[in-house]
Amino acid sequence: MSQFQIPVAVLGATGSVGQRFVSLLENHPWFKVVALAASDRSAGQKYSQAAHWVLDTPMPAYARDMVVVPASTETVDAKIVFSALHTEVANELEPQFAKAGAAVCSNASSYRRGADVPLLLPEVNADHIRLIERQRENKNWRGCIVANPNCTSTGMTVALHVLHQAFGVKKVFATSLQALSGAGYPGVSSLDIMDNVIPNVANGGEEEKVEWEPRKMLGKLNDGKIELADIQFSVHANRVGVIDGHTVCVSAALNQPVEPQTAIEALRDYAAPPSARELPSSPRPVIEVKDEADRPQPRLDRLTGNGMTTVVGRVRKDPIFDLKFVVLSHNTIRGAAGASIYNAELLTNEGLL
């Protein structure tokens, strides 16, 4: 099978992350969308009828007339399955697809903590992809499940990875200002967020994810097991009136004092692992460090590197820990649909489909 004809499907295609998948897969050089699957309520309708489109780019022409199918291994036949399913549905369906031979690249949180499931940011821990060999042995699957992290973990982990490699990270305080699209559609009521801030996301569950996931991604793969990175996290999650783009304020304690300028250079110079560098969705650059004192800002910077770049700013000394900085990452591109696609590209390139 040529790379240029790899058939892919999107599960949960009508939701807000599903729409990002549909949008980002338009004109993808390797993947061809052969199925858009959603709940039974939508199945049977044309995609243009089933989806209440919320992106500011038009619905791709290829998708408009595709008939939405139910999300099941009987109705969806694809080499790669992108999952934008809700957790409970993903819990059940993703293993079925993996068993049936599909590479499931999932945005759901269901299997992120699985000991044999790679939690993957290719520019950070591309080597963790090898975990699926263990996964296939354990589960006796022909396919596999690869997870991408929570949208708030994403940008922060990319930046922390560079600092961890270079200087060692010990403790992290992080406060997020998260965008509305992270809650899906219809998600947050306008009456709850106009002239307002909600100092909680997912009833606290978000904070636990963001306190744990980076430890797995920054961990070491040894003998088929991930050893969690020994870093402590404390996270405050907030919802703010921004459409796309999660901003995170970070204070980090390092193994050694570091001048901000040294950290900035490390962040700017960082290159993804070779296997993750030249993929269609590779962020270019991986990290952009802004010089302006009031950046990054979500509206102005979220589309840097087509929404795949992690944007960092205000790198400065922290009065208690070592460094303070701000990280911005596009939550439905780098933090969700783009993440799963990038993961799928890595799988493809590594011959792991």
Q: Which residues are catalytic?
A: 151, 246
137: which 2 tokens? 């042995």
Binding residues for a second copy restricted to 144-173, rule: CB under 8 A: 171, 173
Cβ(298)–Cβ(328) below 8 Å:
yes
Q: How far is the CB of 85 from a second copy (least distance, A)?
A: 20
**DSSP string over 310-343:** EEEEEEEE-SSSSEEEEEEE-TTIIIIIHHHHHH
Q: Residue 236, SS3?
A: strand
C-alpha to C-alpha distance for 326 and 262, rounded to whole angstroms: 16
- Interatomic CA distance for residues 39 and 173, integer angstroms: 39
Structural tokens at position 169:
């990270």
Q: What is the 3-state secondary structure (H, E, C) of 65-77?
A: CCECEECCCCCCC
Any contact of residue 293 with a second copy (CB under 8 A)? yes
* Minimum distance from residue 320 beta carbon to a second copy (Å): 4
Which of 324, 331, 334, 338 lies at the binding interface for a second copy (CB under 8 A)? 324
Stretch that binds a second copy, among 129-137, 263-271, 272-280, 302-310 (CB under 8 A): 302-310
Return the range that interacts with a second copy (CB under 8 A); candidates 5-13, 39-47, 120-128, 247-255: 247-255
Rg (CA), the chain: 19
> Which residue of 122, 155, 283, 298 would you call a contact of a second copy, by CB under 8 A?
298
Residue 334 found at the interface with a second copy (CB under 8 A): no
What secondary structure letter does DSSP report for 271? -
Rounded distance between C-alpha atoms, residue 97 and residue 71, angstroms: 10
**Residue 151 to residue 214: CA distance in whole angstroms:** 11
- Residues 98-127 touching a second copy, rule: CB under 8 A, are none
**Cβ 290 to a second copy, closest distance in Å?**
10
Q: What is the smallest separation between the CB atom of 311 and a second copy, expressed in angstroms? A: 11
Q: Is 268 in the site for a second copy (CB under 8 A)?
A: no
Q: Smallest gap, in angstroms, from Cβ of residue 78 to a second copy?
A: 28
- Taking CB under 8 A as the criterion, which residues in 13-52 touch a second copy? 16
Could you say which residues in the range 187-246 bind a second copy, by CB under 8 A? 187-200, 203-204, 211, 232-234, 236, 238, 240-243
CB-nearer residue toward a second copy: 123 or 322: 322
61 lies in the site for a second copy, by CB under 8 A: no
Nearer to a second copy, 221 or 303 (CB): 303
> Under the criterion CB under 8 A, does residue 255 sit at the interface with a second copy?
no
CA distances from 343 to 17, 74, 285 (A): 16, 25, 17
Count the site residues for a second copy by CB under 8 A: 64
Q: Residue 284 interacts with a second copy (CB under 8 A)?
A: no
Q: Is 89 a binder of a second copy (CB under 8 A)? A: no
49 or 73: CB nearest a second copy: 49
As a whole number of angstroms, the distance between CA 166 and CA 171 comes to 15
Q: Residues 6 or more apart from 191 whose CB is under 8 A from it?
A: none
Nearer residue to a second copy within complex by CB, 47 or 233: 233
Separation between Cα atoms, residue 33 and residue 237, nearest integer Å: 35
Give Cα separations from 227 to 61, 224, 260 (angstroms).
Answer: 45, 10, 29
Q: Which is nearer to a second copy, 118 or 245 (CB)?
A: 245
CA distances from 178 to 53, 58, 86, 237, 288 (A): 21, 24, 19, 7, 20
In the complex, the residues that contact a second copy under the rule CB under 8 A are 16, 53-58, 171, 173, 175, 177, 180-181, 185-200, 203-204, 211, 232-234, 236, 238, 240-243, 247, 249, 251, 293-300, 302-304, 313-314, 316, 318-321, 324, 326
